[in-house]
Amino acid sequence: MKSTLAISAIIFTVGIVTLPVVFSDNSFEWQQGERDEHGVANVSHPLYKEECGSCHMAYPPALLSTASWTAVMRGLDDHFGDNAELDAQTHKTISEFLTGNSADNSNYRRSRKFMQGIDANSPPLRISETPYFKRKHDEIPQSMLSNNSEVSSFSQCNSCHQGAQKGIFDDDNVKIPGYGRWDD
């Protein structure tokens, strides 16, 4: 009887101890993978914001692959026609931030979609050149984009995606200047 009690106590104790571990492990996966159907990881870095965000939105690193970021960072002296060169230390810090948080290093569902059809040997240099981006924006007419002085191009995600800076890109948060909410 005593031994039965002791065994029960052990089982109970082990259960109590392991339950939160199992549970937190699940919730970890849930957070990393499934929570964010609509967004990508919301990460920021003061140096990245300062150096890159002066000229354009500091794009969430989770929108491009490691191969893409590496290629972008390799050509900063001719960055889409602009000079964006950095000193060696800053270059290293920002490169590590971008590749460490890139789409292939993220478990968010939307990041995985951004990886679809990416050829690591010739990675796209622009987010707007990724197959997933193109597919999601193929219904946007020029009148809302290049002929819209408040938008001009795809380069400022946050012109239309109100939550872009926080990694939120779902349709519900889209408002096109001069046109209003976007109904897919």
Partner 1 sequence: MKQMIFAALLATAVTGLAHADSAALLQQYAQQGASTPSAQRGQAMWQQTFAASGEFSERSCASCHTSDLARAGKHVKTGKSIEPMSPRVNPARLSDNRKVEKWLLRNCKWTLGRECSVQEKADFLAYIKTAEMI
Rounded to a whole number of angstroms, the minimum distance from the CB of residue 149 to partner 1 is 9
CB nearer to partner 1: pick between 87 and 138: 87
Rounded to a whole number of angstroms, the minimum distance from the CB of residue 160 to partner 1 is 13
Rounded to a whole number of angstroms, the minimum distance from the CB of residue 86 to partner 1 is 8
CB nearer to partner 1: pick between 155 and 173: 155
CB nearer to partner 1: pick between 73 and 151: 151
CB nearer to partner 1: pick between 41 and 151: 151
Binding site for partner 1 (CB under 8 A): 54-57, 77, 80-85, 151-153, 155-156, 159
Token couple for 21: 């571990």
Extract long-range pairs of 165-172: CB within 8 Å, 24+ residues apart.
165/57, 165/58, 166/39, 166/42, 167/36, 167/39, 167/40, 167/41, 167/42, 167/43, 167/60, 167/62, 168/38, 168/39, 168/42, 169/38, 169/39, 169/40, 169/110, 170/37, 170/38, 170/39, 172/38
* Residues sharing a CB contact under 8 Å with residue 47, sequence separation 6 or more, in sequence order: 90, 93, 94, 97
Rounded to a whole number of angstroms, the minimum distance from the CB of residue 163 to partner 1 is 18
Interior CA angle at 164 toward 174 and 123, to 5°? Answer: 110
Of 146, 141, 150, nearest in space to 178 by CA? 150
Rounded to a whole number of angstroms, the minimum distance from the CB of residue 83 to partner 1 is 4
CB nearer to partner 1: pick between 32 and 155: 155
